[in-house]
Amino acid sequence: MQSISRYVIINEIEKRKIIIKLFSLPLLIQFYIIFTLGYLNITPQLYNYEAIRASAIAFMVGLFLLLTPIITNQVKQAINDKYYAATLLIFLAITYELTYLATVPPYYGLSLGASLDTATYLQSFASLTYYRQFLVSFVGPFFSVHASPILLLIYPIYEVYPSIFTLMTIQVAILMLPIPLMYKLGMKILNNPKHALATALLYILYPWIITAYAPFEIVTLAGSFMAMTLITMYLNDKKAYWASLTLAMASIEYVPLFGIGLSIYQALSKEHRKLALLTFIYSIAWLIADYYLVMYFSGWTHNIFSNLYGAALSSLLTNITNKLLNPNTTKALIVDPQTRMVMDTTNVLSGIIQQATSQYNIKVQYVIEVFGPLAFINFLEPQTILLMPWLAALLTNFTPYYIPNVYYTILISAVALPATIWALRRLKIETRKRALTALLIINTITGLLMGPLTPLSGLYYGNTIPNWNTPVANQYDLAMIQLANYIPWNASVAVPATAVPWYSITRYGWGNHGVPFLGPNNNTQYVVYSPLVPTGYPYSTGDSEYGPYAFDDGAWILKANYTGPIKIINGFYYENTYVINPVLPGTWQYPIAQIPPTNITIQITTETKPQQAITLLNTTLLKTQLQQPQGMSCANVLGPGFSEIIIPGGTYIAQSITINETTRISSITVFTSYDTSLATAELATTSSLVLNQENTIYTHTFGTPWWCLPRSWTTPITANPDITLKPGTYYIILTFPIQGQTICEQIPNTPKALLINATTGQIIKQLPCTLGTIITIHLQSSLQTVLPINVTMSILNYTITMNGNQEITMSTKIKNTQSLSLTINMPEIKPNAQLIIKLKVITQDTVEPLTPWYLIPTIGLIPTYLSLILAMLILNK
């Protein structure tokens, strides 16, 4: 009787699933039918954003219905298993956190590193929605480079609410999908819900998976689906296996190689041998389809294997596949950069060996960093090698392939982690648990220091720890973003590279509806830029035919041939602090902004602070040395000037200093000049004469410190290391990209500078002088007083003289658009003092802008905290 009842229940469940599919499939299919009819102009009225969005919403309803049985099953398991419930809550918490970190800091903060890659996807979708172009961006048709049909599945989901948030949410949700599967794998291997939860946590803590959370990349999607394929194979869930493998194959052209390796492993494994032949055939079919897809969209000029950058192996694979799959058009295919020359097997093999051994120390470190947190346990399973075709990246000289925190690593890490857990089955149950505990401890440490979940990763990567209590963007960034709302959705607008994603949601390419980011072109109608802060490069604001149209809180819209009144949106508020340290004779100029016709209030505050200084130069000569020579205009560097020496190319000058007690260094200033060059010079503090990473305490790079001549004989270069040195001997090292010159004087009772060979680190000779240097030191107490400093400042044609600690406020009316800049003139040298100038500029009817709450990570991540707290409460029941 019980068996009959169970059969009836199962039969009813299957009937419900069939009914749900009958309702959901038409809703899914209708989107592609409606879109195709509109896109091909068969039914033109269907090709508009409103119709596409309505169809996309219906698609999402169908997708939700299709997933309802899976979601229901997850909820039932969570109700019956508190550890699984905690796993799902952690899944939601981390998904939200990574989505927030992938969206708010980089895009609101106008990060150049996150902008252009993500913009290619935003523009590709915009080309589909508005312009009848098939996934085209500023780099051309997407399918002409990558085989990623999964974008056609993502597209209707994205169109429900097209935005950066939607795109990044999709990626992070897919990246986190293996977490519940990892729990089930942990249950299978360890048969304990606590250890299953620990297994799921490993997916979050192992740093080289979640570091792929941003920017949006199809490689990240592929890695996640590859992990799901492997886990579902271990769990013997064939439906989920084939679904995961299909989604992985649809992500990027590299995955069929993973599938081929997987099929070889399956053939060698008794547990999964039945899947081997089908997986192999399926992978080969996808590889061929990917090849022809990219060839078709590229006009038969681009081979998928040419996407393996910096590799002689790429040339070999490209040539082989061209001959096998396109023998009649091989000659036409040599336009591809990596197949331009006639292939020679010996040369190719030699190239592969040479590239494999290049940067071998970095590659060895990469392998250790990637597999070390897994204690190399994954190598107990043969599929570690067979399932990691991306290890072929070690045969290239393209450095990003073997930097662990770059998203490419997920093609290795997403396979290595499940393989590590699966390898534990070879051990006794108690040994498994101890091994899992050790892995959890190791990855908790590495995850905190290397992963993105906490600010502590700043320590590992050598950066400052980000303060999650401060906003990730300022009013200038927000102004740049919100000005997109004042421009017609399909108008061409030139913006800095960092702002490209915000303007790409309804535009694509470089032309009439594009987003050029190298400056305006002939099709550009609007220009958006911030005259206050640099927001991405390279960029220029174009010619004078662009007139100011709208003005926001630190950003402009320029409109082609505009002559009307300027529209002030939020007014203008600017506040900055300028620190002159050390105080040197000369003139400093700080460009601020263009100001539209308006009433303006300017507040200037000066403050002097005492400090100690180590002065290794003749200060009485400095005023003369810093003067500009007469009659020089855009010529070569004049010199060497008085008390200057030549530093030949390929050398550097080193000056020793002795610190007798623990000292906090505030600034280091040297006086130098060199010919205009795109390369940068470097000022370093080291513990040895040899300039290398191990001995370097602090470095400061700088370019030629002028735009055009006249040049001075020498220019002060100041670094602000804020480092603490213990008693000992240190070296100030000055390196030029080409021949340069610097002040070097005969100072009694001081060590002489040394000229060093930059290649070998060997001393060439001791110089008869001391490198002209001023080092300022933080005082232990503020009891020391400093005499007031006379300073003359110019702003908006007003000249102001201030002496000591003063504050002045002035108001004026700007009648025409005018450049706002602050010029500071110092008549004297005072190494034992620093001058602080605070400037505040406010236009009419403007108040200090409020910071949106979501820009402060500590507040924006509250949903994550609540989910984790709820997970802990459930576990403590």
- The strand pairing partners of 651, in sequence order, are 757
Q: Indicate if the pLDDT at residue 350 is higher than 80.
A: no
Q: What is the pLDDT of residue 780?
A: 63
Cβ(818)–Cβ(595) below 8 Å: yes
pLDDT tens, position by position, 703-749 = 665 433 334 557 788 888 888 899 999 999 998 877 888 888 888 88
DSSP conformational letter for 485: G
Residue 333 confidence class, pLDDT cut points 50, 70, 90? very low
Query: What spatial distance separates the first Cα and last Cα of the chain, rounded to whole Å?
Result: 37
Q: Find where tokens 């009891």 sit.
A: 783
Q: Indicate if the pLDDT at residue 335 is higher than 50.
A: no
Task: Count CB-CB contacts under 10 A for residue 797.
Answer: 7
Q: What is the pLDDT of residue 374?
A: 94
Q: Find where tokens 């570091």 sit.
A: 211
Q: What is the pLDDT of residue 631?
A: 35
Annotate 7-20 with b (16+ C-beta within 10 A) or e (fewer): eeeeeeeeeeeeeb
Annotate 40-74 with b (16+ C-beta within 10 A) or e (fewer): eeeeeebbeeebbbebbbbbbebbebbeeeeeeeb
Q: What is the pLDDT of residue 630?
A: 36
Q: Give the mean pLDDT of 340-359.
A: 66
pLDDT tens, position by position, 813-841 = 888 777 778 888 887 788 888 888 898 88
Residue 334 confidence class, pLDDT cut points 50, 70, 90? very low
Q: What is the pLDDT of residue 5?
A: 57
Residue closest to 867 by CA, chosen among 179, 156, 27, 175: 179
Q: What is the pLDDT of residue 863?
A: 95
Cβ(65)–Cβ(17) below 8 Å: no
Cβ(496)–Cβ(529) below 8 Å: yes
Q: What is the pLDDT of residue 199?
A: 96
Which residue would you say has higher pLDDT here, 633 or 219?
219
Distance CA 142, CA 122 (A): 11
What does DSSP say about strands 493-494 and 526-529: parallel, antiparallel, or unpaired? Answer: parallel
pLDDT tens, position by position, 620-631 = 666 666 655 433
pLDDT tens, position by position, 41-83 = 999 999 999 999 999 999 999 999 999 988 999 999 999 999 9
Distance from chain centroid for Cα 264: 36
Cβ(666)–Cβ(833) below 8 Å: no
Q: What is the pLDDT of residue 345?
A: 60
Among 67-71, 246-250, 310-314, the minimum mean pLDDT is found in 310-314
Residue closest to 731 by CA, chosen among 670, 813, 677: 670
What does DSSP say about strands 763-766 and 754-757: parallel, antiparallel, or unpaired? Answer: antiparallel
Q: What are phi and psi of 575, to 5 degrees?
A: -145, 130
Q: What is the pLDDT of residue 281?
A: 97
Residues with Cβ within 8 Å of residue 655, at least 6 apart in sequence: 616, 731, 732, 733, 751, 753, 754, 770, 771, 773
Q: What is the pLDDT of residue 721?
A: 86
For the chain, the average pLDDT equals 85
- Highest mean pLDDT: which range of 376-385, 626-635, 805-814: 805-814
Q: What is the pLDDT of residue 150?
A: 97
- The strand pairing partners of 674, in sequence order, are 740
Cβ(204)–Cβ(179) below 8 Å: yes
Distance CA 255, CA 225 (A): 10
Which residue would you say has higher pLDDT here, 282 or 392?
282
Among 134-143, 402-411, 464-473, the minimum mean pLDDT is found in 464-473
Among 6-20, 81-95, 393-407, the minimum mean pLDDT is found in 6-20
Cβ(404)–Cβ(366) below 8 Å: yes
Helix (H, G, I), strand (E, B) or coil at 93: helix
Q: What is the pLDDT of residue 405?
A: 87
Residue closest to 704 by CA, chosen among 620, 751, 802, 637: 637
Q: What is the pLDDT of residue 639?
A: 53
Cβ(723)–Cβ(700) below 8 Å: no
Residues with Cβ within 8 Å of residue 10, at least 6 apart in sequence: none
What does DSSP say about strands 663-674 and 651-659: parallel, antiparallel, or unpaired? Answer: unpaired
Inter-residue long-range contacts of 184-187, CB under 8 Å, 24+ positions, other chains counted: 184/231, 184/235, 185/231, 185/234, 185/235, 185/418, 185/421, 185/422, 186/421, 186/436
Q: What is the pLDDT of residue 709?
A: 39
- Highest mean pLDDT: which range of 211-215, 244-248, 591-595, 772-776: 244-248
Task: Count CB-CB contacts under 10 A for residue 534.
Answer: 13
Residue 645 confidence class, pLDDT cut points 50, 70, 90? confident
Q: What is the pLDDT of residue 823?
A: 84
For helices 255-268 and 218-234, give the axis angle rounded to 10 degrees: 20
